[in-house]
Amino acid sequence: MPELPEVEFARRSLVRWFDGRRLVRAESDPTVRTFRADEASVPHAVAAKKFDRLTGTLERAERRGKYLMLAFSDGNGVVAHLGMTGKFVKRPAGQAVNWSRARFVLDTTEVIHFSDPRMFGRIEPMAARALRENAAIVALGRDPLVDGLTTAQLREAVGPSKQDLKVALMDQGRITGLGNIHAAEALFRAKLHPGRLPGSLSDAEWEALKVGIDASLAFALELQQGHDDIEYVEEPNAKNPFLIYGHEGEPCRVCTSTVARFDQGGRSTFFCPACQVAPRGERKPAPKKVGAKKSPATKKKPTKQAAHPSTKPSKKRS
């Protein structure tokens, strides 16, 4: 599932693909729910039609958290969210792409498709000048890559939360970009139990968490170097490159204890009970028995992904 690194990959790909090229035509499938507009009363087909009017060169491609903001030279733009399965792919004209919901036809022989099997992704056309002021964008907290994130800023943003540490890290209004995968990865790297209370962390633990976040994001960005297409870990036969996410029942790569999983905020949390010990007196959810395993993909709750550009992010958005 796309989180900060994967959306950043999409941004960098779009910048590269549009470089020196011109958008001659945008095409949409008006029957799909990809084109939800800023008001529920606006039919998909109307938003899709607006998308079809895009032309010109790509003037700006920005990312904030898991949102992309694309501004074209004709003054129009889109806010895009990849949802659970959305991705941009570039293919030669005439080549069919599965689940292609929208297309940018370039003045070469290439087409950039927005492919999204499950259609939790969204594209919202709007004036280019309105992109950054969009309510969903404004509501986002600090983006570790765009804004930078110091240990003090992390503590200030996440420390006051009364939610479990992992849930608080996924709260897009506090810091933006971490989802279920990278929150778990950062906590594992920092040796912090996901059920810790943010208010209980020591200075050293905040520092370790900041380093863990940076390392987790950098690792994922590095993985994508040199690739044109991205593969999400939940896709069939995809490799799992992560340290802890999705590794329930396997040996921890640090201490060889068995990686455990429990449900937290409606999502699967993976952790090592030996490396990530909850201090006495704090919440410590009992890990589920290995064998009751569900795949990460089937554990996802679609309702948590209702990340519409124009709806206010909820505390539980991931």
Residues acting as catalytic residues: 2-3, 66, 267
- The position carrying tokens 């020196």 is 20
58 scored as a contact of Zn ion (CB under 5 A):
no
List the Cα angle 16/19/24 in 5-degree steps. 115
Residues in binding contact with Zn ion, number by CB under 5 A: 7
Q: Where are the beta strands (DSSP E) in the chain?
A: 23-28, 58-64, 67-72, 76-81, 87-92, 100-106, 110-115, 122-127, 260-264, 267-271
- Considering only 10, 37, 80, 272, the residue that binds Zn ion (CB under 5 A) is 272
Report yes or no: 171 and 163 within 8 Å, Cβ to Cβ.
yes
CB nearer Zn ion, residue 217 or residue 272: 272
Within 236-265, the residues that bind Zn ion by CB under 5 A are 252, 254-255, 257
- Considering only 275, 300, 304, 305, the residue that binds Zn ion (CB under 5 A) is 275
CB nearer Zn ion, residue 168 or residue 259: 259
CB nearer Zn ion, residue 121 or residue 246: 246
Within 205-234, the residues that bind Zn ion by CB under 5 A are none
Using CB under 5 A, which of the segments 67-75, 111-119, 167-175, 269-277 binds Zn ion? 269-277
Least Cβ distance, residue 275 to Zn ion (angstroms): 3
Residues contacting residue 127 through CB under 8 Å, at least 6 positions apart: 75, 76, 77
- Residues paired with 142 in a beta bridge: 175
The CA dihedral of 304, 308, 311, 317, to the nearest 10 degrees, is: 30
Q: Write out the residues near Zn ion by the rule CB under 5 A.
A: 252, 254-255, 257, 272, 274-275
